């Protein structure tokens, strides 16, 4: 499973609604590259990128812009080039949406401790939505600059981040840095980060539901999902699998660098399925007590908690094929679709006694090494 990446079908109606401003078209005799359209964009524009391969990097400074892939998913291949010293697309504008785009091969040439300041998508402005993105094989998938005093929300929906990271532990699949007021994630699959965190969150607040975080071969950093600065975080209905033989590894770490975010400092961890494939621990929650409710723990070192349930690995149906269902307790017949997340209404019908996340409904449409 670790050697392939499964993509998902994106229905046309799921793409962003047209903006009220002019429409710029990339491809088919109009702008040749996204960067050309970015250079001419005005506030409120919609930029439609025709399906195809673009060896291009660029900077977007206009605000309230929707960038949408149409007639297929355009592939933006940076070919180890970057714009503005930072990434494939560097977003200075505010209230931007990127929709139905594939991005790969970002590399600013830096390694080690200097490797973190780069990403396929690099946000400098405020408020960004990433939807239906496939971001893979970059030095870092997402990163944002720190700007004091700004209110900045980040939303990531129905997207796949895979095989990002420089291998040295300082760049990650998704790195949500300071300046993000709230992170919202729905239906995101983050898998197999090369040496970094599968998800690192310094945001003041996060709401992460219906997502899949997997690394069955142990590529990723020992601290798999990391919330180092505290804050208020909700982690509900997700599936997490990590394999690391280091006894110091954990599936979720919280507060290890101190409670640097604004209060309140609390973490709700509910109705998730956690699979610990080796000798590490499930959680390292510091300075606060996390609320653990109706989770399923699979593997060694399951937390002793009456409000959760520990099962053996043999109870899982077929994790190699991303089927993490267990026979009991019965949780109904409707798949909880990680890549087709609609709204919180998806939890309707799940009682407080339900344990674990539903298995994601993945639709393979392509494979990549």
Edge-to-edge order in the sheet of strand 250-254: 175-176, 199-201, 223-227, 250-254, 281-285
More confident residue, 293 or 79: 79
Question: What pLDDT was estimated at residue 274?
Answer: 94
Peptide bond before residue 178 is cis, with ω within 30 degrees of 0: no
Question: What pLDDT was estimated at residue 244?
Answer: 79
The β-bridge relationship of strands 239-242 and 212-215 is parallel
Beta bridge partners of 201: 176
| Mean of the per-residue pLDDT values of the chain | 83
- Span 231-260, average pLDDT: 90
- Span 155-173, average pLDDT: 93
User: Are 72 and 51 within 8 A, CB to CB?
Assistant: yes
pLDDT digits (tens, 9 = 90+) for 350-366: 454 567 776 444 443 33
Which DSSP letter does residue 19 get?
P
Q: Largest Cα–Cα distance in the chain?
A: 63
Write out the two tokens for 255: 């507060």
Write out the two tokens for 226: 């990391």
Question: What pLDDT was estimated at residue 8?
Answer: 38
Question: What pLDDT was estimated at residue 92?
Answer: 97
**Residue 103 — pLDDT band, cuts 50, 70, 90?**
very high
Instruction: Say whether pLDDT at 75 is over 60.
Output: yes
User: Are 108 and 82 within 8 A, CB to CB?
Assistant: yes
Instruction: Say whether pLDDT at 6 is over 90.
Output: no
Instruction: Say whether pLDDT at 126 is over 70.
Output: yes
**Domains observed in the chain:** 21-319+336-347 (2.160.20.10)
The gap between the terminal CA atoms of the chain, to the nearest Å, is 11
Backbone angles phi, psi at 112, to 5 degrees: 65, -140
Question: What pLDDT was estimated at residue 357?
Answer: 75
Question: What pLDDT was estimated at residue 150?
Answer: 79
Write out the two tokens for 213: 């975080």
Residue 32 vs residues 26, 29, 104, 114, 267: alpha-carbon distances, Å: 6, 7, 19, 33, 47
Whose tokens are 């209905």? That residue is 237
| Burial of 1: CB neighbours in 10 Å, binned 0-12, 13-18, 19+ | middle
pTM greater than the 0.85 cutoff: yes
pLDDT digits (tens, 9 = 90+) for 310-350: 988 988 888 887 778 776 554 433 333 333 333 333 434 44
């Amino acid at each position: 499973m670790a050697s392939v990446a499964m993509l998902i079908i994106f229905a046309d109606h799921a793409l962003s609604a047209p903006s009220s401003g002019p429409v710029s078209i990339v491809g088919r005799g109009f702008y040749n590259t996204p960067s050309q359209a970015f250079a001419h964009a005005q506030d409120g524009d919609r930029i439609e990128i025709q399906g195809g391969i673009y060896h291009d990097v660029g900077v977007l400074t206009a605000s309230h812009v929707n960038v949408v892939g149409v007639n297929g998913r355009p592939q933006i291949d940076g070919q180890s080039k970057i714009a503005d010293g930072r990434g494939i697309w560097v977003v200075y504008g505010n209230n931007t949406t990127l929709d139905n785009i594939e991005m790969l091969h970002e590399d600013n040439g830096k390694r080690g401790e200097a490797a973190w300041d780069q990403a396929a998508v690099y946000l400098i402005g405020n408020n960004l939505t990433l939807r239906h993105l496939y971001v893979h094989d970059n030095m870092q998938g997402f990163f944002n600059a720190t700007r004091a005093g700004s209110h900045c929300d980040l939303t990531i929906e129905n997207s796949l981040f895979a095989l990002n990271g420089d291998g040295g532990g300082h760049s990650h699949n998704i790195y949500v840095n300071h300046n993000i007021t709230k992170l919202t994630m729905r239906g995101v699959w983050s898998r197999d980060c090369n040496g970094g965190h599968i998800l690192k969150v310094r945001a003041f607040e996060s709401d992460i539901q219906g997502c899949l975080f997997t690394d069955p071969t142990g590529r990723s950093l020992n601290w798999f999902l990391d919330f180092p600065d505290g804050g208020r975080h909700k982690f509900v209905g997700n599936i997490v699998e990590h394999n690391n033989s280091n006894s110091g590894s954990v599936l979720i770490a919280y507060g290890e660098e101190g409670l640097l975010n604004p209060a309140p400092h609390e973490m709700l961890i509910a109705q998730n399925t956690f699979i610990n494939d080796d000798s590490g621990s499930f959680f390292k929650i510091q300075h606060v007590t996390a609320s653990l409710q109706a989770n399923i723990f699979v593997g060694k070192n399951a937390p002793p908690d009456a409000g959760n349930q520990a099962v053996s690995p043999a109870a899982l149906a077929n994790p190699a094929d991303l089927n993490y269902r267990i026979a009991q307790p019965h949780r109904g017949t409707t798949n909880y679709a990680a890549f087709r997340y609609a709204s919180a209404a998806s939890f309707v019908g799940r009682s407080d006694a339900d344990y674990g996340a539903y298995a994601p409904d993945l639709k393979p449409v392509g494979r990549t090494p």
